[in-house]
Amino acid sequence: MRMAAAVLTLAMAVLPRPASAQADEALTTQVDAAIDKGVEWLKGKQLKAGDFKGTWGDGVNGVYGGGNATSSGRMYLATTVLSMMTLLRCGVDPEDACIKDGLAWLDKVLPKEYGDAKKGRPDPSIMGSTYEGGILLMMIEALYDARTDKKMKADGKDPKTDAHPPVKLDDKDKAVVTRVVAWLKATQSRKGGWRYGAPVFDSPGGIEEDPSASQVVLLGLTSAKRLGIAIEDEVWQKAAIWYLEAQEKDGPAAKKGASGKDTGGSVAIREGDRSRGWPYLRRSPDKKDLTVTGSMTACAVNSLILCKAALAKSKVWTKGMEAGVDRGIYDGLAWIDLHYAVDKNPEGYRSHYYYLYGLERLGTLGNFEKVGAHAWYPDGAKHLVAAQAGAGSWNGNDELEPCDILDTCFALLFLKRATVPVGVTLTR
């Protein structure tokens, strides 16, 4: 009997692994190599001299202004905080020279930023806006997370399994975070969303809200909340209400045969769900802005999940509000399922990689591996691995400039699954 058991054990040990397991391991190896290569490329793009040493540069804007508009330094803050956040989430040491140089540049410019909201943009010379404010808060959280992880490892602890100590901001960073949060709260529109700056700022087309800017603000406020800064319930409540009002009022019903329950880490699309997404703007002379797209729908669903997490224990989180938010989330996911793609931004004409980063946030914030039958991570990872340039970058040529830097950040954040969960698991 012992001999038979030993033979069986040996036979099992030499049996080939299932093809699916081998494919998973191969993809993991490819993803790790793509991340390493992308990180080195991104680090190499940091400016090493001049007034903007420590930043990630600027470029000709190929999307707006007929392809001829130059930003003239107005994107330095955006590219810098996004690049730093990306590198930190990809495991770059917080004491690495590129992070220290970036922080040194920020120390020079941030005291000018995010003052009186009534004056509109904080400092238009470097494009101080809601985008920069939200990403700056995300970067600061990533910086403190990286420092904490490094110290835990030095103390023999595992950051992935051991409890993390509470975050304690130093006085300088707490002042910056507090100031940015105050500015972002003050720039929330009366309806509950955000655009580029304060409502008194002349927003393009007179529109004071869009799903993308609003989402970046909510991501930043979520980071600030985890850093110990209080955010009033009203901020999240107003945002959720605005997103629900901005969603399509109707859409096609989910097809018959939709699964009736959530299984295996997937979000079921049920019969009766209606495919309802979000456009970039609700009114605009440009019809492309009125088109419902994957990137904007992902932004909106992500934002509703953030609001759901922030309000879960609040008095304003009534059964009626919960039902409305959940209906908005699941109908938005039904739109993603119906129009699912990873090789483009569904129904959109630009921002492919921004959409993929939005898809990663969806899966992480909602804690699911599939939307309907679509395995979003392996699908997206395979596409990104194949699309990476030889030097390590990604560039869809359909984004603001510097497009290669922005798209590389979005691709890396997807591959690393860099979004921090908020404790929500979409089940019903």
**Residue 61, domain member (yes or no):** yes
**Residue 230, domain member (yes or no):** yes
The continuous run of DSSP H or E covering 267 comes out as strand 266-267
Rounded to 5 degrees, φ, ψ at 228 are 100, 10
Q: Cβ(55)–Cβ(79) under 8 Å?
A: yes
This prediction's pTM: 0.89
Q: Is 327 exposed, middle or buried (0-12, 13-18, 19+ CB in 10 A)?
A: middle
pLDDT at 382: 98
**Residue 10, domain member (yes or no):** no
**Residue 16, domain member (yes or no):** no
**Residue 155, domain member (yes or no):** yes
Question: Smallest Cα–Cα separation from 248: which of 276, 290, 274?
Answer: 276
The length of the chain, given as a count of residues: 428
Rounded to 5 degrees, φ, ψ at 273 are -65, 150
pLDDT at 262: 61
Q: What is the CATH number of the domain that holds 181?
A: 1.50.10.20
**Residue 4, domain member (yes or no):** no
Can the peptide bond before residue 279 be classed as cis, meaning omega within 30 degrees of 0? no
3 state SS of 72: coil
Q: Cβ(335)–Cβ(264) under 8 Å?
A: no
- pLDDT tens digits for the chain (428 residues)? 445 544 444 444 445 555 556 668 999 999 999 999 999 999 999 999 887 889 887 754 444 443 344 444 457 788 899 999 999 999 999 999 999 999 999 888 775 555 554 554 555 444 468 888 999 999 999 999 999 999 999 999 999 999 999 999 999 999 889 989 988 998 899 999 998 876 544 455 557 899 999 999 999 999 999 999 999 999 999 999 999 999 999 999 987 555 556 666 788 788 889 999 999 988 888 889 899 999 999 999 999 999 999 999 999 999 999 999 999 999 999 999 999 999 999 999 999 999 999 999 999 999 999 998 899 999 999 999 999 999 999 999 888 778 899 999 999 999 999 999 999 988 87
Q: Cβ(223)–Cβ(137) under 8 Å?
A: yes
- Torsion 238-126-92-381 (CA) sign: positive
**51 CA to centre of own chain:** 30
> What type of residue is 111?
P
**Residue 261, domain member (yes or no):** yes
Structural domain boundaries, residue 335: 25-416
Number of domains in the chain: 1
**Composition of the chain by helix, strand, coil, percent to 5:** 55, 5, 40
**Residue 425, domain member (yes or no):** no
3 state SS of 26: helix
